[in-house]
Chains A and B, each alone.
Chain A
Amino acid sequence: MVQKVTGATDQFTGPHRGLTGGRIRARRLDLGLRQGDLAERMGISPSYLNLIEHDRRKIAGKLLAKAARALDTDVATLARGAGAALIDGLLDAAAMAPDPGPDLPRSGAPDLSRAGEFASRFPDWAALAVSQARRIATLERVVETLNDRLSHDPFLSQALHDVLSTATAIRSTSAILADDGEIDPEWRARFHRNPFEDSQRLADSARGLVGYLDGAGQAETSIASPQEEVQAWLAAQNHHLAALETGVDDVEKALPRGATGPARSLMRDFALVYAHDARRLPLSALRAALAQGGPDPARLAQTFGADLHSVFRRLSCLPEGVNGRPVGLVACDASGTLTFRKPLDGFPLPRFGAACPLWPLYLALSRPHTAIRQVVQQAGQMSPRFVTFSQALHRPGGGFDAPPVTTAMMLILPDDADTPAQPIGISCRICPRPACAARREPSIVASLS
């Protein structure tokens, strides 16, 4: 019934462990420091530092902390490449941890400024902490769901009441029979008969209850939210639904066999749109247009006579990415709630709750139909840049005077150009930018100096 959280370790510790050295070097050069000076401050030989800077030797722990101090930055920034997702995950985990309360010392609270150090020294343990925090979040939701059910499900409530009432009657009656030698014969006969009837009723109620719970378990195989189930399904096939690329009409073929209920309905909606997009922008023609003119969504929209949202979606589900690099996509509705998330390396998306209000996605929401191109950069001096394309579209809400349904979408591509970038975050709680006019709640992480 509960989904396993798997793959966390690979995701966090796999490909990017070697980049820390490069970041140290870049930061040193930015500051105009010579290798020998930095090596001296770190207490190591210049030749050893040289090996570190070229990622020929690993750096972690105290040495990384010394490097961060000498470079006037923090470990998390230097180590971002060594698992930015892992560090963000740890900060998320810390944010979720219960507040011990004002009357208790925060002795048990983790030192957030050392998340990067922890992640780089003990990547496997850090990944475990992150995956456990996520699992806790999932399980908490399960408990809430079950709690709701206990309180509000009329059948369950009635069935439990029956079971407990019958058990009470049996208990009381049998206690009378067990304790008392002297019972009037007429009462005695009645008290002998009652538990027998009650036990049959109890057996029936219990059977009914078990049958109901079994049925309910099948109806909701997934404890994750339907949206999460859809995201997991799409992630598993790299967001590319090969079965729908050939112009088929029967989208059912593309849906996973096990999916049921609301998740299946969301998947079907997604697949219908996917199939429609695939007919409008066929894979081979899209690849040809990309090879010819590059990933300019406006031009592609014009070439194929499609709206920008279709182009965004098609670019996000190319198996090879764009220019060989992965593409991210997020969508939200008029309330700002994220309704679609395809994350990419270096651009983490909040798992729960709202995102950073500075995202161009939300700018687009406030200017419907305007196509907005903006280069953005996550917090952290050496965070990669991304170019985003956003647009919000209205579609009719059904009939005159009905409010339109608005969807904003933001396509996210890695950007290497050294253009000025709009600083953004993930979400306020784990954002280190100190002076942000858009901040809606205090951050739990140390601010960037």
Chain B
Amino acid sequence: MAKRVLLIEDEPNIIEAVRYILSRDGWAVDTHADGATALAAVARRLPDVIVLDAMLPGRSGFDVLRDLRGDPATAAIPVLMLTARGQQKDRDLAERNGANRFMTKPFSNAEVLACVQDLYLGAPHPRDS
């Protein structure tokens, strides 16, 4: 079975580019663009890795993340958090809410790919090292 990633992001051209680089690497990529219904999308697909934008229409990515961690069905899915602001408090919030990785826009394709691969393979979080 293909490894599956769910990309929750509202910027169409970022979705296309990320979808392209991940699918070329052998990932089945699903996308979702709305914060309010993101939890349902995760529950429906139960992906191997989630890439979650912090600023989503409908609901903040940080809130989505907190609820993901609160639900036993989704608590263990690794999450890469994307944000357009590299501020420390955003970083802290992401970490507190249970993000495995945190990446600031604009990121490079290689970074995203490597990060998603790491998360899939259960590579240790930089925090643990």
Contact = CB atoms under 8 A, between A and B. Distances in A.
Interface string A181-196: 0000001001100100
A197 interface: yes
A168 B55 contact: no
Given A164-B84, A176-B20, A169 B109 contact: no
Contact of A168 (B20, B87, B89, B106): B106
Contact of A164 (B16, B17, B105): B105
Interface residues of A, number: 24
A176 B85 contact: no
Interface string A173-209: 1011001000000010011001001100000000000
B115 interface: no
B31 to A, nearest CB: 14
B17 A169 contact: yes
A173 B17 CA distance: 5
A172 B84 contact: no
Interface string A271-311: 00000000000000000000000000000000000000000
A187 to B, nearest CB: 6
Interface residues of B, number: 18
Contacts of A187: 20
A280 B107 CA distance: 69
A388 to B, nearest CB: 46
B107 A160 contact: no
Contacts of B87: 150-151
Given A160-B85, A161-B85, A168 B105 contact: yes
Contacts of A161: 55, 84-85
A266 B84 CA distance: 39
Interface of A: 150-151, 157, 160-161, 164-173, 175-176, 179, 187, 190-191, 194, 197-198
Contacts of B109: 172, 175-176, 179
Closest A-B pairs by Cβ, 4 of them: A172-B17, A169-B13, A164-B84, A168-B106
Nearest to B89: A151
B14 interface: yes
A119 B51 CA distance: 61
B108 A164 contact: no
A151 B108 CA distance: 25
Given A160-B85, A172-B18, A176-B21, A197 B106 contact: no
B11 A171 contact: no
Interface string B56-91: 000000000000000000000000000011010100
Nearest to B11: A165
B84 A171 contact: no
Interface in B80-129: 84-85, 87, 89, 105-109
